[in-house]
Structure 1
Amino acid sequence: MTDDRPARTHVAREIQSQPRVWARALDQLGTVGAVLPQRGERVAVIGCGTSWFMAESYAHLREQCGAGETDSFAASQFPAGRGYDRVVAISRSGTTTEVLRAIDATQVPVLALTAVPDAPIGRAADQRIVLDFADERSVVQTVFATTALMLLRGSLGEPLEAVLGQAAAVLAGDHAVPSAIGAGSQFTFLGQGWAYGIAREAGLKMREAAQLWTESYPQMEYRHGPISVAQPGRTVWVFGEPVTGLAADVAATGAAFVDDRLDPVADLIRAQLLAVRRAEEQGLDPDRPRHLARSVVLPEVISQVSSAP
């Protein structure tokens, strides 16, 4: 399933920009690497919505490579009294209420990743990295979130040239999702380890932009109930390598199975593109999903941070 039409929405253009923006962020590692979590530090990573899912993926990757104990939390659930060496707070707008509250509640040094240079999070945190070149006009997050994650992945020493290449290939039309699968009535996204955060983000993008029924689970949890909704016309989409026996179990239900062994972040682009396509087919505005704003803000919190000495 390919689409040669020019991008007509902000989110479509932002999706297309990702490999270029990722490369720019990775080029900055030599400058910002010293303020990112160092090996051996005990770290908490917080965010809301999409940023939370990126935090979750980074936490898994950091522990997986032996860089140090790393926990992720939705900012509203952050245990501020727990001992860490550093907190990393991810917030595109830098105005999200729950993130600012979490920063205010902790005594641990905080590093903020944001897209807005003069946002309140920059005054609340001890250090900041501004990815203003990854900011977005769309309410729906795509490029900022993936850029933050790619920067964090790069800081772990992971070679990412192949990921950029896969992303560019996806945007050029390779690995296209077949039309029959893309038109499915329900999608379940699965990921094991760090890819689970990506699966959760894929489900969120489809719900936000296209109002579709989506679910997300760790791969090994799929047989523990979620498989009961699988049937013809529905899709199970795996990020990363599928666990043994999963493809056969899904095939027995008649549901479609998507498994292309791409890097999960490159594969996420396919879900982003599909979310925009499905939204446009339904006459929805993928830039401004209903009931959503760019940031969840309580004015009194912004006022408190702005007036702090």
Structure 2
Amino acid sequence: MDFGYKTYEEIIRVNNLIGMANNLTPPSFSKSKKYIFIGCGSSYNAGLILSEILKKQGIFAEAASSGEVLLENTADEIARKFDVAFLLSRTGTTTETLKVAEMLKGKIESIGITCEKDSPLSALCDMNYELDFAHEESVVMTSSFSAILRLFLNGIERYPISPDEYLESYDSLLSEELLKEKSHFVFLGCQERYYVAKESALKVEEMSLDHTEFYETLEYRHGPIALLSPHAHVVIFSKYREPHKLETDLANDIVSRGGSVHILNAMTDRPEFEVQFLTLYGQLLGYKRAILKGLNPDKPKGLSKSVILDN
């Protein structure tokens, strides 16, 4: 396995990024305010995950894609409904998010989240978190995703959790046999882990160009399982320390139909805080499959680091 690519270096440096994110003063949240996360791609997925976790804390939070805001022209509605808008863009140059920031400017408190200094997004927002230490050379967003989640989760509680055990576990699970035999990957989860599944599917799709899907865990039985074949591998993101009986039943069903499955159980008693590291599985899988297929994970075919559109 060739690990001489920027993408791999940027995945495994996650512990260093977490340490630097811990040095920042995180956003604070109030139950008297309403929050919305806005972004595209992985940034949107981060917002979806965070909004689910904040809801569990009794805080009003939602997420929207920048594209949806533009298509539905909902900027004024957002300004009326919410108190604070978090605008996420790794590069700070994503056209759709910049347009939304322009539309919201002066109407709602806006906070930009980027991994670059002095980006166009920062110029449009009232306040900014510029995680330039999480800058990535490669096209696909990897460990910076964990750093952004850690920043916000610290605003809820500074829960001490490290990525090392997750990296080690996932690396051992992704055997050469699995990588060679499987080409169809399905990710399952509920609540915030459903959006972890969404982000994981995206990572594999971006890096290795393999066929991926994501669903709520038990919804997989209701139609999608018909596509299961010996080439399919299913990943269940469980919030339980031990597999739930229904997850085990589903896993047995998958194996009986010729597929393979990993149930990724919670490693702590605070499973909501684990979301910052669960996507490492998909990142490693996408990277290793790309190398196996002779693809360049640093510069996947048809993708760019930031989607910049003509006005």
Measured in 2, the distance between the counterparts of 1:240 and 1:19 equals 23
Q: How does 1:284-303 map to 2 (within 5 A)?
A: 284-300=295-311
> What is the CA distance between 1:135 and its match in structure 2?
0.8
Residue type at the aligned position of 1:139 = V
Measured in 1, the distance between the counterparts of 2:211 and 2:49 equals 23
Q: Equivalent residue of 1:27, what SS?
A: coil
Change (3 A) 1:200 1:180: same
Aligned partners of 1:36 and 1:111 also within 8 Å: no
Hey, what does 2:292 align to over in structure 1?
Answer: 281
> What is the CA distance between 1:165 and its match in structure 2?
4.0
Measured in 2, the distance between the counterparts of 1:168 and 1:186 equals 22
Structure 1 position 44 matched with structure 2 position 36: yes
Hey, what does 2:132 align to over in structure 1?
Answer: 132
Structure 1 position 153 matched with structure 2 position 153: yes
Q: Which runs of 5+ in 1 are unaligned?
A: 301-309
Measured in 2, the distance between the counterparts of 1:117 and 1:47 equals 18
> What is the CA distance between 1:269 and its match in structure 2?
1.4
Aligned partners of 2:167 and 2:280 also within 8 Å: no
Aligned partners of 1:113 and 1:128 also within 8 Å: yes
Indicate which of 55, 64, 80 corresponds to 2:56.
Answer: 64
> What is the CA distance between 1:158 and its match in structure 2?
5.4
> What is the CA distance between 1:10 and its match in structure 2?
0.9
Indicate which of 211, 229, 233 corresponds to 1:213.
Answer: 211
Structure 1 position 180 matched with structure 2 position 177: yes
The answer to which of 272-281 and 120-129 deviates more is: 272-281
Q: How many residues align?
A: 288
Q: Equivalent residue of 2:200, what SS?
A: helix
> What is the CA distance between 1:36 and its match in structure 2?
4.2
Measured in 2, the distance between the counterparts of 1:89 and 1:128 equals 9
Q: Equivalent residue of 2:234, what SS?
A: strand
Q: Equivalent residue of 1:202, what SS?
A: helix
Aligned partners of 1:45 and 1:59 also within 8 Å: yes
Measured in 2, the distance between the counterparts of 1:297 and 1:267 equals 29
Residue type at the aligned position of 2:36 = A
> What is the CA distance between 1:58 and its match in structure 2?
0.5
Measured in 2, the distance between the counterparts of 1:201 and 1:240 equals 15
Aligned partners of 1:19 and 1:168 also within 8 Å: no
Residue type at the aligned position of 2:165 = Q
> What is the CA distance between 1:233 and its match in structure 2?
2.6
Measured in 2, the distance between the counterparts of 1:36 and 1:284 equals 42
Aligned partners of 1:166 and 1:266 also within 8 Å: no
Q: Spell out structure 1 runs of 4+ moving beyond 6 A.
A: none
TM-score scaled by structure 1?
0.87
Aligned partners of 1:170 and 1:269 also within 8 Å: no
> What is the CA distance between 1:178 and its match in structure 2?
3.0
Q: Which runs of 5+ in 2 are unaligned?
A: 267-273
Measured in 1, the distance between the counterparts of 2:200 and 2:140 equals 12
TM-score scaled by structure 2?
0.86
Measured in 1, the distance between the counterparts of 2:200 and 2:210 equals 11
Measured in 2, the distance between the counterparts of 1:293 and 1:130 equals 21
Between the aligned residues of both structures, percent identity stands at 27
Residue type at the aligned position of 1:176 = L
Indicate which of 189, 192, 196 corresponds to 2:190.
Answer: 192
Change (3 A) 1:59 1:261: same
Measured in 2, the distance between the counterparts of 1:282 and 1:157 equals 41
Q: How does 1:1-309 map to 2 (within 5 A)?
A: 7-28=3-24, 32-33=25-26, 35-66=27-58, 68-78=59-69, 79-80=74-75, 81-82=77-78, 83-106=81-104, 107-157=107-157, 159-161=159-161, 163-167=162-166, 169-170=168-169, 173=171, 175-183=172-180, 184-241=182-239, 244=246, 245-262=249-266, 263-300=274-311
Aligned partners of 2:200 and 2:281 also within 8 Å: no
Change (3 A) 1:59 1:103: same
CA root-mean-square deviation? 1.9
Aligned partners of 2:196 and 2:278 also within 8 Å: no
Aligned partners of 1:170 and 1:266 also within 8 Å: no
Measured in 2, the distance between the counterparts of 1:164 and 1:39 equals 30
Change (3 A) 1:238 1:278: same
Residue type at the aligned position of 1:182 = L
